[in-house]
Structure 1
Amino acid sequence: MKVLANDAGQLAAHANIGHAGGQQLPAGFSFTQSMKDALESVNQQDAAAGQKMNDVDSGKSDDLVGAMLASQEASLSFSMLMQVRNKVMGAMDELIKLPV
């Protein structure tokens, strides 16, 4: 989630620079890779939360609060990822509608 927020901030900063000075994004920046990294991070959070919940259910752990917090964090991360996806899809729809 932090990776996605940082990349979004970099993209916004570079977009402002690009319009003013004609510069482009750095060669190492990849929006696709940023999205893949964010997706993997959300997946890992979900797996960790699931493992914590399974440990509590099976009696291996008594940290119910930690398991619930991990579950909520994973849920919020997924919601944020879906919001980013929806914004990107909306932007793509707008680009498609532009006259050529």
Structure 2
Amino acid sequence: MNSISQIQQELLGRMELHRELSASGAAIKPAMQLDEPGQAGVLQSFADSLRAVDAQQHQAAQAMAAVDSGQSDDLVGAMVESQKASVSFSALLQVRNKLSSAFDDIMRMPI
């Protein structure tokens, strides 16, 4: 019985400490703001990566179209551009999948 009363006293002390911290506003502070000027957040980084991959896809498509229409004889260069765009897209998909699974894991965490 002595250990139960000690635990109760400890919990009451923690509750009182939490109440004091909540009243002073120091208990819970927001995380770093990602949308502050001058700071690139995760969303901005992902958007930049998406634009870069899109630009590579367009460049590869233009190179393949030039080879198909006979404007260019650089078939090897067009294929290399196509493979670069494919690898970039695959890497972007893997990052997206990792972010999605991390978000799901966080959402499943008990509070």
TM score, norm. by length of structure 1: 0.73
Which of the residues 83, 107, 111 maps onto 1:96?
Answer: 107
Which of the residues 82, 86, 92 maps onto 1:71?
Answer: 82
* 1:56 partner letter: V
What percentage of residue pairs aligned between the two structures are identical? 48
Structure 1 partner of 2:29: none
Deviation digits for residues 30-85 of structure 1, max 9, x if unmatched?
Answer: 11000000000000000000000000000000000000000000000000000000
Structure 1 partner of 2:42: 31
Unaligned runs of 5+ in 2: 1-31
Q: CA deviation at 1:29?
A: 2.6
Q: RMSD in angstroms over aligned alpha carbons?
A: 1.5
Aligned length: 77
After TM superposition, the runs of 4+ consecutive aligned structure 1 residues lying more than 2 A away are 24-27
Report which structure shows greater RCO (CA 8 Å, sep ≥6): 1
Structure 1 partner of 2:55: 44
Unaligned runs of 5+ in 1: 1-23
For residue 58 of structure 2, give the secondary structure of its aligned residue in structure 1: helix
Deviation digits for residues 79-99 of structure 1, max 9, x if unmatched?
Answer: 000000000001001000001
Matched, 1:80 2:91: yes
Matched, 1:55 2:69: no
Q: CA deviation at 1:25?
A: 8.6
